[in-house]
Amino acid sequence: MLKLKLLTIELLKRLSRNYVPRYLIFAIDFLIAFVSAQATFFLISSIQSPQLIYFEFSWKLLTILSIQIIAFLTFKSYSGIVRYTGFRDAIKLIQTTIFSVAVLLIINNIYYMAYEIKIIVDAGLIMYGFILFSILFLFRIVVKRAYQLIHANQTTTNAYILGTGLADVAIAEGIISDTQTQFKLSGFVNVNSKIKRNRIFNLPIVLVDDLLESQNEQCVIINSSKLDQLDQSLQQKIDILLENNIKVYKLPEIQDWNDTANVLSQIKEINLEDLLQRNPIKLNKEKLKSIYQGKTILVTGAAGSIGSDIVRQLIPFDPQEILLLDQAETPLHDMCIYIRKEHPETEFKSIIADVRNYERLAEIFEEYSPEVVFHGAAYKHVPMMEDNPIEAMHVNYLGTQNLVNLASKHQVNRFVFVSTDKAVNPTNIMGATKRSAEIFVQFVSRQKNNKTLFITTRFGNVLGSNGSVIPHFKKQILQNGPVTVTHPEITRYFMTIDEACQLVLEAGALGKGGEIFVFDMGNPVKIVDLAKQMIRLSGFTPNVDINITYTGLRPGEKLYEELLADKENTLPTHHQKILIAKSSFEFDKENTILLENLSNQIMQNQTLAALKILYQLVPEFNHNKLENRKIG
């Protein structure tokens, strides 16, 4: 008997995995409307006359059902997936019912004025609407509950909602109603000391300390909107939970849930980006569309982490064509596969080229005539550029010079140069070469015959970008450590790739030419704190399960990054996260000669001579003395 029961449940599970066709739901709803109408006729007849009407087949019934079909088709109340019935579906059913009853009441009274007879008394139509809605909604709830019972998860984790606000309660209600989820709601965590209630849904409201004392497996679910406005108090609570190996998950507010998805599919583990206290960016999408729509746009370094995301951000603005330029063939091929699959309507060209090759770049500008250029191609790995300074100067300075000269020659509308905070008071070759490139971009933008708007954007480290500390830490954690940090006090500014590229596009549209835009990077983060957070998010305890070791500062590495040079100040823009850095650099005859000489020495691979000029061009470059360097 038990075996038969298990087989029956398994069969029901397999059958319930498939969605019921919409036409079948429509047919069931029509049948419910028929039953509701017949029930109404029966109830009205029992009040008005001694002769009961069990079945009514007349023009009256046909009129009611015809209007009801129109209401079903108008509001598409049959289109939702029944197993996920919720508040939105109830609203749609109410709209459908009110519409049909209202139309029937109008027809009823028009018909009465013409023939002094009604389809049914007005009260009967209201009764019909009540019966119809009740049965329609009951049908959906019964199906949903049956589906939940069939797929009920036997292994559950005790889950607590972080907070007791309206949005938190709504999320709790969604979890309670979905028995397919692996989480069993056990209560709420108090984040407001003023709260006086002690139970919601008959579930306890507890403190963080209460969770730490419990021996049961448990987790905490937080409303994603709280992470967008993370204050210090809430950050500390999340840190305490992670330190005690309590998993923390995020769940969007009810209105942001996918209509066809269950609660389980919406719940995600929080990640490092969620804990960086970055406020969401508001872009002027209409302004951006007016700048980028219908344009041929060249993106250099298009296969890199920054360049590829700039491409993704550009696609919604419907450019005429995107030119993907990179020298790395495999990542560029992967990018092409992504665009063909996810955005088949987007026109693009993949171009293998090196920004150091002026003749190759000239061919590209002649053939495609780009109207906007985003220059992201660069060497950015600080220690490697210390060992290979001539390569850093070739790519970061000379490559930028090639593109800037061609953009000015071909009168490109806008040229956006992606720089770095390491260009401010640089202590390494990479930063100095990017600063020299900034200077050249500004130099050309000031030429009288120049028609191109040259714009420089400067920001700090990007989470998850190629070569950044985050992927490096992830690999070390996967290998059970140790996680290596150069110095216990080293700090960096961080932003997400998505945020950085959105601001690059915004600054590109905002610029009038010659500006250096500095992005609001928020507060600097200690790298050791970042390492600890990543270890905790991976389910381990820092310096217990996975050790953190210090390796010492690398050549050219700063303890603290800066976003503005000492002699620079900033001006606000209409966007709160974008400022304009006003540089004090003097574009006199001497510096113009230095720019030209630097190019000549780089092209001749004269490393020592080029470095000497770089020191003169960027006097704030604070580095080891040239005579103490080993130049290859």
Q: Tally the C-alpha atoms within 13 A of residue 13's C-alpha that lie toward its C-beta.
A: 12
pLDDT band at 514 (very low <50, low <70, confident <90, very high): confident
For residue 304, the 8-state DSSP code is: S
- The length of the chain in residues reads 632
For position 631, what pLDDT does the model report?
44
Question: What is the arithmetic mean of pLDDT over 180-201?
Answer: 75
DSSP string over 516-537 = EEEE---S-EEHHHHHHHHHHH
Does pLDDT of 632 surpass 60? no
527: which residues sit within 8 A by CB, 6+ positions away? Answer: 469, 485, 486, 487, 490, 491, 492
Question: What is the arithmetic mean of pLDDT over 326-334?
Answer: 94
For position 477, what pLDDT does the model report?
87
Does pLDDT of 172 surpass 90? no
pLDDT band at 627 (very low <50, low <70, confident <90, very high): very low
147-165 as b/e: b if 16+ CB within 10 A: bbebbeeeeebbbbbbbbb
Segment (H or E) for 548 = strand 548-550
Does pLDDT of 404 surpass 70? yes
For position 464, what pLDDT does the model report?
63
Does pLDDT of 228 surpass 90? no
CA 621-622-627 angle, to 5 degrees, is 100
pLDDT digits (tens, 9 = 90+) for 102-145: 999 999 888 888 877 787 888 889 999 999 999 998 988 888 77
For position 253, what pLDDT does the model report?
60
Distance between CA atoms of residues 78 and 93, nearest Å: 9
Which has more confidence, 597 or 141?
Answer: 597
For position 458, what pLDDT does the model report?
87
Burial label for 566, CB within 10 Å (0-12, 13-18, 19+), is: exposed
For position 600, what pLDDT does the model report?
94
For position 180, what pLDDT does the model report?
59
pLDDT band at 363 (very low <50, low <70, confident <90, very high): very high
Which has more confidence, 355 or 251?
Answer: 355
For position 352, what pLDDT does the model report?
96
For position 610, what pLDDT does the model report?
94
Which has more confidence, 151 or 170?
Answer: 170
Which has more confidence, 534 or 225?
Answer: 534
> At how many degrees (to 10) do helices 527-537 and 469-478 cross?
40
pLDDT digits (tens, 9 = 90+) for 533-592: 888 877 788 888 889 999 888 777 778 776 664 445 667 777 777 888 776 677 788 888
Domains, the chain, ordered by start = 2-150 (no CATH), 157-270 (3.40.50.720), 285-467+497-521+561-589 (3.40.50.720)
For position 16, what pLDDT does the model report?
47
pLDDT band at 321 (very low <50, low <70, confident <90, very high): very high
For position 191, what pLDDT does the model report?
78
Q: What are phi and psi of 411, to 5 degrees?
A: 55, 50
For position 567, what pLDDT does the model report?
45
pLDDT digits (tens, 9 = 90+) for 77-87: 888 767 667 66
Which has more confidence, 593 or 2?
Answer: 593
Distance between CA atoms of residues 501 and 495, nearest Å: 10
Q: What average pLDDT is seen over the chain?
A: 82
Distance between CA atoms of residues 264 and 179, nearest Å: 10
Which has more confidence, 229 or 617?
Answer: 617
Which has more confidence, 447 or 499?
Answer: 447
Whole-model pTM: value is: 0.66
Question: What is the arithmetic mean of pLDDT over 361-388?
Answer: 94
Distance between CA atoms of residues 483 and 535, nearest Å: 9
Which has more confidence, 224 or 447?
Answer: 447
Does pLDDT of 276 surpass 70? no
Question: What is the arithmetic mean of pLDDT over 245-274?
Answer: 64
Question: What is the arithmetic mean of pLDDT over 506-530?
Answer: 83
Does pLDDT of 624 surpass 80? no
pLDDT band at 620 (very low <50, low <70, confident <90, very high): confident
